[in-house]
Structure 1
């Protein structure tokens, strides 16, 4: 665990958040329509991007996670749903977007360096 960076911890958190969003229709009893479809698809995309970032970090993964997190945040108003589904989407979307922004900021502060030799 000593080799884990803050960026990897953010990716693990995004993986957990994506999984929670994916299963939220069953956990919180969303309807079987567009609300649950949006939760499952968005959660799956967040989780896949987090796994990809854990496997091999690339800046584009964080930009996509930021976009998907923002989508989860605004989707209740874009798709017209409310109640518990709205709360879950807003909280998870905001958390994913913030974590992606933190990772992008960390990268800008400490860009990866190529080493020669060794």
Structure 2
């Protein structure tokens, strides 16, 4: 198994996005649910990306996909969807984190030669 991250630049981008979400928690002080969610999800994205930079594993990308999807859903599930700044911060960072993690997974599969879109000869 390949243990090198497909794109260190993309992994660093996700790390910075997570850091940005965690720091945004300070701006959401009047909205406890938004602040706690931003802080926790942001730090988890930072941790997953940092670990992936050290030793790449698909689990880190799957974790970031899940965290990104949660960040998108959280404003509506936790009830701060009416707070435009908190909502859009979560949605935009969530979309970026999940998209980058998906690209990383696809790149890793491509570099390992795993493709399921072409049938093998003789089948």
Unpaired runs of at least 5, structure 1: 113-118
Unpaired runs of at least 5, structure 2: 114-123
Distance across 1 between alignment mates of 2:57 and 2:76: 31
Whether 1:48 aligns to 2:62 is no
Structure 1 residues 65 and 29: CA distance shift in structure 2, 3 A: closer
Distance across 2 between alignment mates of 1:78 and 1:29: 17
Task: Give the number of equivalent residue pairs.
Answer: 108
Cα deviation, 1:45-66, whole Å, max 9, x if unaligned, reads: 0000000000100111111111
Superposed displacement of residue 10, structure 1: 1.1
Q: Which residue of 2 aligns with 1:115?
A: none
CA contact (8 A) 2:5 2:53 kept: no
CA contact (8 A) 1:15 1:47 kept: yes
> For the pair shown, which has the larger CA radius of gyration, 1 or 2?
2
Q: Which residue of 2 aligns with 1:91?
A: 92
CA contact (8 A) 1:30 1:85 kept: no
Q: TM-score, normalised by structure 2?
A: 0.81
* Displaced runs of 4 or more, over 6 A: none
Q: TM-score, normalised by structure 1?
A: 0.84
Whether 1:17 aligns to 2:22 is no
CA contact (8 A) 2:5 2:56 kept: no
What RMSD, in angstroms, separates the aligned Cα atoms of the two structures? 1.8
